[in-house]
Amino acid sequence: SQQGEEDPQALSIQEGENATMNCSYKTSINNLQWYRQNSGRGLVHLILIRSNEREKHSGRLRVTLDTSKKSSSLLITASRAADTASYFCATGQTNTGNQFYFGTGTSLTVIP
């Protein structure tokens, strides 16, 4: 399988703390995206980083990409209870055209 993997599988933090989750993948990519899913609902796109970018910011989100290590991290700063959700990385890989591979997700719980 070419699926990515998120680490940790589950994360529990206090409101106001920062949350960091990591994603590793296996092959060369065009881009890497992060999505959020509230329990059982559809995924919502958060941010996309291209293979020639190393860091990207969007509001309280910071994404880094290290193509040499085939890994990415998502940092959520000053977390809120409303950030409680599952977070997935998805890769668009260069050898499979427009096919996408999602990781297994990190379940984040932010305690008020």
Partner 1 sequence: EAQVTQNPRYLITVTGKKLTVTCSQNMNHEYMSWYRQDPGLGLRQIYYSMNVEVTDKGDVPEGYKVSRKEKRNFPLILESPSPNQTSLYFCASSLYGNEQFFGPGTRLTVL
Among 59, 69, 97, 112, binds partner 1 (CB under 8 A): 97
Q: Which one-letter amino acid corresponds to residue 51?
A: S
Report helix, strand or coil for 5: strand
| Shortest separation between residue 111's beta carbon and partner 1, angstroms | 23
Distance (Å, whole) CA 66 – CA 89: 14
- Binding to partner 1 by residue 105, rule CB under 8 A? yes
Taking the least distance from each CB to partner 1, the nearer of 50 and 80 is: 50
The beta-carbon contacts of 15-18 under 8 Å, at least 24 apart in sequence, are 15/79, 15/80, 15/81, 15/110, 15/111, 15/112, 16/78, 16/79, 17/79, 18/75, 18/76, 18/77, 18/78, 18/79
| Shortest separation between residue 104's beta carbon and partner 1, angstroms | 4
- Binding to partner 1 by residue 79, rule CB under 8 A? no
- Candidate segments 20-28, 29-37, 62-70, 76-84, binder of partner 1 by CB under 8 A: 29-37
User: In the stretch 37-56, what mask flags binding to partner 1 with x, by CB under 8 A?
Assistant: ---xxxxxx--x--------
Distance (Å, whole) CA 35 – CA 48: 9
Applying CB under 8 A, which residues contact partner 1? 1-3, 31, 33, 35, 40-45, 48, 88, 90, 92, 97-105
